[in-house]
Amino acid sequence: MNLKEFLKDNSLIMDGAFGTYYNSLYDNDELPEIANIHNKERVINIHREYIRAGAKLIRTNTFASNSVSLECDLNELKTNIVNAINLAKIAVEKSRKEGFADTFIAASIGPIPFEDLSDREAIEKEYLFIAKTFVENGVKIFDFETFDTLEYIKETIDYLKDYGEIMLSFCVNQYGYSNAGLSAKKLCMDAAKLEGVVATGFNCGVGPGHLTAIISKIFESVSIPIMALPNVGYPSNVSGRMVFANKNVSYYVDKMQEILKEGASIIGGCCGTSPKHIEALTKLEFFKPRKINKTDIDDNTATVSNKSAFYYNKTRKLIAVELAPPFDGDDEKILASAFALKEKCVDVLTFPDSPSGRTRTDSILMASKINRETGMCVMPHVCCRDKNAIAIRSQLLGSYINDIKNFLVITGDPIPSVVRSSVKSVFNFDSVGFMNIIKDMNENQFKDSAMVYGGAINQGRSNFNVELQRVIKKVEAGATFFFTQPIFSDEDVNRLEIIKKEVGKEVKILAGIMPFVSLKNATFMKNEMAGINVGDNVLQRYREDMTKEEGERVGIEIAREMIDKTKNFVDGYYFSFPFNRVYLLDEILK
């Protein structure tokens, strides 16, 4: 019988914590995964203790088996995982000979703690490597645990669906949100939609009391069995170590009984639990798993309010103009530029979020003031560099109540190396993760009038296929429009046309137009601004001795040429004027 068949008519008890229990037994802070190589009997014995306690599913000792946590290469990582699999099999076999029933073995796969989440390809590659190692060694159940988002593991899940059954458990706080800012409900609903996933739920993060409340709110929205593996309680910080006190087992069990009543059909334990807790769970009253009909579930997907979108009811080419917020407290120039554009055919004004990692006036507050002063539609850029999920959700709520509902979501430029010792980036997730936060808030908090958001396209990226796939992922995350990097070549034009065909007519693409006003301006942008590809053929059209008017004239000519080459397929244009020379817009659009 496979796991899915078992869960049709049975509840399942999993094992408890491996890591905290291991460290309590051997009084050290080393990763328990190291024992897969150097203390194999310890691993076998802990598995056997949980089986004797009544666990019908044990997880391999591989939660932190990854190249970052173990500080090893992939060959060493593979050896560690293979050893862990064999040790779990030995424990099950020995227990069987002692008269215990067969026990499921699941691959424990935890989050890889990469510091830099921008190298998506490398992250996804390692998850896939770990998954393939388990598959090659006969594991049929794969338990992804303590995740805060599905980003980075979707491709691995897609691979594993052909080789076994997948369990997905997330880590949320007592309010039901993950570190990536996503709600418990959204996480489980999205997991349930993935082919091959047979159970979803929560582990770690909270104690059983808070988890009871979380599960009670989401049960009716999730179509597959729900897992509940809470911590024994909340830890204390003792000499820099997170220590879980020896909590009352009876309290834990009482709360787990409530969790079963709320609809969980898979229970076990996380940090601070031990075989004693699992043995006590076997005395609980189990209920036949309640069935949820998928067709009866409201997927809670919010429809983007067209009236909120800057492109609402527009049939002509769209025009967006970027205005850079000031470095200081003087907003006179940016206000003058905004008022100069008020009577033009401008659909939205956009405001970058401290581009190049250099401090400028906050983009959302700047947008709010321009909106109040001019009444124009505004769009702040928002990036992942400086804020965690708590701050981001807070900003979005503040923006919403100030009627700012259009956003350009970007990962963000890195902080300049000269200040990295004193200023730290956050980058808890990338732009796709940020979009998923807004999507989640649209589905739960902004149902009546959803936020509208889009992303950036770097069509000049060296690996164009990677950029194309990123665009597709952003569309899947709810992006309805894109602004591109400035275009200066036929290659840029051709790449944008390919992207437009891929995303279809419903997704708006505004081609970036940046009219250089001098040779110095063009040379600087070519050599010092990341993501802007300026060919020598562009520089050759400028001279050092040009007047201001002559330089502007060349910039206008190049802008018109790029507009002419893209007019048959893009939906509009995204203008960025050097030194806020917004008066050039009239000349370009004549």
Token pair listed for 114: 């990469």
Beta-bridge mates of residue 233: none
Identify whether residues 213 and 292 lie together within a single domain. yes
pLDDT value for 302: 46
Highest mean pLDDT among 50-54, 220-224, 393-397: 50-54
Closest C-alpha among 503, 488, 478 to residue 570:
503
Give yes or no: residues 405 and 442 share one domain. Answer: yes
**Statement to judge: residues 286 and 409 lie in one domain:** no
Query: φ, ψ for residue 242 (rounded to 5)?
Result: -85, 115
Residue (of 107, 109, 78, 104) closest to 92 by Cα position: 104
Rounded to whole angstroms, how far apart are CA atoms 229 and 214?
Answer: 12
What is the average pLDDT across 249-264? 91
Question: Are residues 367 and 514 part of one domain?
Answer: yes
CA separation for the pair 266, 203 (Å, rounded): 11
Of 245 and 361, which is predicted with more confidence? 361
Q: Among 111-120, 180-189, 494-503, which stretch is predicted with the lowest mean pLDDT?
A: 111-120
Range of the domain at 273: 3-296
Q: Are strands 406-410 and 452-457 parallel, antiparallel or unpaired?
A: parallel
The yes-or-no verdict on residue 344 having pLDDT over 70 is yes
Q: Within this chain, do residues 257 and 356 fall inside the same structural domain, yes or no?
A: no
More confident position, 306 or 390: 390
What's the pLDDT score for residue 3? 92
pLDDT score, position 130 = 97
For residue 227, the number of C-alpha atoms closer than 13 Å in the C-beta half-sphere is: 32
What's residue 420's pLDDT?
A: 55
Q: How far apart are CA 65 and CA 260, in angstroms?
A: 31
Residue 392 contacts residue 406 (beta carbons within 8 Å): no
pLDDT 10s digits, 520-552: 999 998 888 877 888 899 999 999 999 999 999
Most confident of 119-123, 312-316, 367-371: 367-371
From residue 547, give the alpha-carbon distance in Å to each of 443, 523, 541.
Answer: 54, 16, 13
- Asked which of 233-237, 373-377, 540-544 is least confident by mean pLDDT, the reply is 233-237
Asked whether residue 133 is assigned to any structural domain, the reply reads: yes
What's the total number of domains in the chain? 2
* pLDDT score for 233: 83
Domain shared by 244 and 318, yes or no: no
- Low-confidence winner among 96-100, 414-418, 428-432, 579-583 (lowest mean pLDDT): 414-418
Judged against a pLDDT cut of 90, whether residue 244 lies above it is answered with no
Domain identity same for 276 and 332: no
Considering 273, 296, 319, which residue would you say is the last residue of a domain? 296
Q: Are residues 280 and 356 in the same domain?
A: no
| pTM of structure | 0.74
The CATH number of the domain where 328 resides is what?
Answer: 3.20.20.220
pLDDT at residue 556 is higher than 90: yes
Answer with the one of 249, 266, 296 that is the final residue of a domain: 296
Tell me the per-residue pLDDT of 260-274, one tens digit each, with 9 for 90 and over: 998 899 999 999 999
Q: 259 and 365, same structural domain?
A: no
Is 303 among the domain residues?
no
Most confident range, picked from 21-25, 381-385, 405-409, 442-446 = 405-409
Residue 302 lies in a domain: no
Is residue 575 domain-shared with residue 515, that is, in the same domain?
A: yes
What pLDDT is stored for residue 295 in this prediction?
46
Domain-located, residue 301: no
pLDDT tens column, 265-305: 999 999 999 999 999 999 888 766 665 555 445 555 544 45
Q: Which of 296, 320, 351 is the last residue of a domain?
A: 296
The confidence score (pLDDT) of residue 114 equals: 87
Residue 197 lies inside a defined structural domain of this protein: yes
Residues 330, 465, single domain; the answer is yes
What confidence tens digit (pLDDT) does each residue in 35-47 have? Answer: 999 999 999 999 9
What CATH number has the domain bearing residue 273? 3.20.20.330
Contacts 24+ apart (CB under 8 A), 394-399: 395/364, 396/437, 396/438, 396/441, 396/451, 397/441, 397/445, 398/364, 399/364, 399/368
Q: Are residues 276 and 333 in the same domain?
A: no
Output the pLDDT for position 288: 64
